Structure 1
């Protein structure tokens, strides 16, 4: 056998050795099985809720539960360093909470559902309806779609974000044009807040449509902050910039890219807190463009020094003109909100000026529960 043949056989044997099947010790056995109950929060059948937090070295942990009139509740620590408390039973609803760990508020690291805007404010726990679903609870009804859109703002000279909710009927009735609600957020929020767990605007509308209590409509939610602060979004210059952005950029974009009824009678504007003040001012300045205005818990309008004539000069000098152009002027405030006295003063002024409006009040403070209820009732009056 020559040297070439020997070399070939050697190479062949090396290749055969290297081609042997490698040993595999990896396994996924035991990965699946019965799902463990949530560590925290855990909603029980009787609607009580257990909260847990791991903090072995903490000296004190309180549960800070709710949005308004909050009273911290002391949690108990076990030998493993897990703090626990069980509260309730609680009424069906959406609740925010935090843990106060030696005086520092933190969100629940075991719960991915949070309330956020300009910052993360807390964790969210939901207690489902007992006998029937809540009006703001996700139900077995036709669901729409949320579109997240970037657009250039001519007033602010930068890209901005908006969220557009399109109801299920939009794709079912392909020749129909839909009315639009331009819905604005509060000072600590952003364009996504009305459709997060705390806001649920899309869910509320879907449930109303399914029960024929509201007309199918498109909801457009833009960012009402110009510099990240409530003050900027409420200043005269700030609201004017937001008005320009809405009229020159947002509405044209929506009416170009969606099947929208562009008539004044098919257009509404509303908002909460900072966004309520923006909606009220922008709506009254543009009576030729909006037929419905909704204001929920505005701090700006409740200020004793606020003068509508500084923002919309002479708007109430001809009350009949306002009344003829608006199908609905809706103002609302919770009775426990510090803004309530200002709301009452605004009611008095509107009556004095002979402006037609609806005033809505109920128990509650400056909180999402109140705003979800107001949006539900307001949308039933539209279009």
Structure 2
């Protein structure tokens, strides 16, 4: 028998080496699973696994360009199912496993993978491809001074309700200093799922970002308030910002005001700036739901909830205007919104606004938006460290 060339066996995928095991029985599968972290990442190839009796097993994910359900193959003679997927360097993918037994179909998090991603709609499993690492500045740092979260309420005539606001005051906050203001849409979600307080504490401590006061907004009817709502824009620009600037030592000028949002929150941020074009100096728009149509009457595919968004974006694209000095735009290459976001960049640039555009091999997820916060905030409100090294 000819011996394989040196290194050939090591280069073969683990699942292919398992196929050659004799005997290929339950014990061999047990040993295989004990030796590998699932999904098995080998260079650009990621092997997804499921173990159990089933009639069919699929990988459920939302990678643009791929079918939402990708079939796993059963390893002959075992109850192990597998799928090898090639992912770009640095990718991060949320997924679940769909299992069919007869007429019963259930979708579950990967039982073999303890890594989970969380969001307001639930959790999912995470595949971190080769080259992806959770940024250390998103994790608690015992050396970082802690800012304070303060709850307040602002009565809004525009929205006709009391609006809760969570304020972040940086460590060593003092009233003898003036601070820039950052207004964050979907505030509770950014705090819970994007580690926003930890990120702010760390970036300010590391001098990447200037000491900043942050107002985290709590929407009530999110899909209505954030879809180019005049009432919401009036609340932010005519009620919230003036109230905060009256109560706190803020800079009180456009260069010290920034709106931030992701998905529908990015639409809300941009809409408020369009309706009040001399108010904000900066915008941070992450995976914006900037759905538009180039041909009138064409189904945009987003359903009725997107109708006001499409109308708003179509109108702006037809006559783009300068609404802020700086616009940070980011989007995941793997998410369906990548095309609309790429398309908006030259539209923004055509108005003379300074645009910084960042892509990542990620999806429509809170971890994606969390991981872009340093790029965004250190450009919008740079700290002393940024001035030294850039």
Higher relative contact order (CA 8 A, sep 6+): 2
RMSD: 5.1
Pairwise CA distance, 1:360: 1.2
Pairwise CA distance, 1:292: 0.7
Partner secondary structure for residue 260 of structure 1: coil
The question of 1:260 aligning with 2:255 is answered no
- 1:301 and 1:346 in contact (8 A); partners too: no
CA offset digits 1:138-174 (Å, max 9, x no partner): 142324346363634323323443333232x244x45
Structure 1 residues 96 and 149 mapped into 2: Cα distance closer, same or farther (>3 Å)?
farther
Name the residue aligned to 1:105: 107
Q: How does 1:1-383 map to 2 (within 5 A)?
A: 96=94, 98=96, 100=98, 102=100, 103-106=105-108, 115-117=118-120, 119-122=121-124, 134-140=135-141, 141-145=143-147, 147=149, 149=151, 151=153, 152-167=155-170, 169-171=171-173, 173=174, 175-184=176-185, 190-197=186-193, 199-224=194-219, 226=221, 228-229=222-223, 232-236=224-228, 239-300=229-290, 302-304=292-294, 306=311, 310=315, 316=321, 326-352=324-350, 354-368=351-365, 369-383=367-381
- 2:236 and 2:272 in contact (8 A); partners too: no
Structure 1 residues 310 and 208 mapped into 2: Cα distance closer, same or farther (>3 Å)?
same
In structure 2, the gaps of 5 or more residues are 1-36, 43-47, 75-80, 297-310, 382-390
Pairwise CA distance, 1:291: 0.8
- 2:62 and 2:363 in contact (8 A); partners too: no
CA offset digits 1:6-38 (Å, max 9, x no partner): xxxxxxxxxxxxxxxxxxxxxxxxxxxxxxxxx
Structure 1 distance, partners of 2:128, 2:166, is 24
- 2:281 and 2:326 in contact (8 A); partners too: yes
> Which structure is larger by alpha-carbon Rg, 1 or 2?
1
Query: TM-score, structure 1 length as denominator?
Result: 0.61
Partner secondary structure for residue 380 of structure 1: helix
Pairwise CA distance, 1:333: 3.1
Pairwise CA distance, 1:268: 0.7
Partner secondary structure for residue 290 of structure 2: helix
Partner secondary structure for residue 372 of structure 2: helix
- 2:188 and 2:216 in contact (8 A); partners too: yes
CA offset digits 1:159-198 (Å, max 9, x no partner): 443333232x244x453232111122xxxxx43111223x
Structure 1 residues 74 and 242 mapped into 2: Cα distance closer, same or farther (>3 Å)?
same
Structure 2 distance, partners of 1:65, 1:308, is 28
Partner secondary structure for residue 283 of structure 2: strand
Partner secondary structure for residue 167 of structure 2: strand
- 1:180 and 1:268 in contact (8 A); partners too: yes
